[in-house]
Amino acid sequence: MLSLTNEMKREIIMEHYNSPNNKVEDITKISNFENFRKIRMDSDSCIDDITIYLDIENDVIKNAYFSGVACAISTASTDILCDMVKNKSEKDALYIISQYENMLYEKEYDSEVLEELNAFSETHKQAARIKCATLGAFGISKILNGENDE
């Protein structure tokens, strides 16, 4: 993948924040919503409060949505992740998330698989934002590890 300039990273974040692809107001308007697995992620230290929905069939994520309110960093990262895990196996999705977390925590990571998530490579400079950048990722991996809110 091309290396992204800061200007490009900024555009990616603003684009997904201002017009997210996977954000829904009301999940019940989406067909088959009863079968989605979901998890509510409300941060204890800020007002971010989102719910993530995954439609999983035979270990493949068919669709991914989220609803709720959150800051730019949480919203954009969750939206990009939803884009990225669609039509991926649970295992591949977890691999992407693990590489994303490695990047945020300044460990070795495979930037090839991160695509637009590379826009968050500067997050460690504002350490307080790591929580925002990982809210959606934690939610998705929780669902993939078997959690499901009633």
Partner 1 sequence: MLDVKNIKKDFPIFKNHENDKKPLIYLDNAATTFKPKSVIDATSRYYLEDGANAHRGDYDLAYHVDKEVEKCRAHLASFLNCFSREIVFTSGTSMSMNLVAYGYGIKFLKEGDEILLTEAEHASNVLPWFKVSETTKAKINYIPLDEEGRCTPEALRKVITKNTKVVSIAQVTNVLGFKIDIKEMAKIAHEYGAILVCDAAQSAPHMKIDVKDLDCDFLCLSAHKMLGPTGIGALYGKFDLLKKMDPFMMGGGDNARFDMCGNVAYLEPPAKFEAGTMNIAAIYGFDEALTYLENIGLENIENHEKELRNYAINKLKELDNVIIYNEKADAGIITLNVKGVFPQDEASYLNSKGICVRSGEHCAKLLKDRLKTVGTIRVSLYLYNDKSDVDALYEALKNGGNFLDAFFN
Binding site residues, partner 1, CB under 8 A: 6, 9-10, 13-14, 46-48, 69-73, 122-123, 125-126, 128-129, 132
Q: Are the C-beta atoms of 36 and 53 separated by less than 8 Å? A: yes
Q: Taking the complex as a whole, how short is the minimal distance between the CB of residue 17 and partner 1, in angstroms?
A: 8
Shortest Å, Cβ 73 to partner 1? 7
User: 137 or 144, CB closer to partner 1?
Assistant: 137
Minimum Å gap between C-beta 114 and partner 1 is 17
| Whole-number Å distance between alpha carbons of 113 and 88 | 12
Tell me the one-letter amino acid at 106.
Answer: E
Q: How far apart are CA 126 and CA 57, in angstroms?
A: 38
Residues 73 and 132: beta-carbon distance below 8 Å: yes
Q: How far is the CB of 58 from partner 1 (least distance, A)?
A: 37
CB of 145 to partner 1, least distance (A): 27
Q: Which is nearer to partner 1, 12 or 61 (CB)?
A: 12
Residue (6 or 87) nearer to partner 1, CB: 6
Residue 99 structure tokens: 């590489």
Residue whose CB is less far from partner 1, 97 or 132: 132
By beta-carbon proximity to partner 1, the closer residue of 7 and 34 is 7
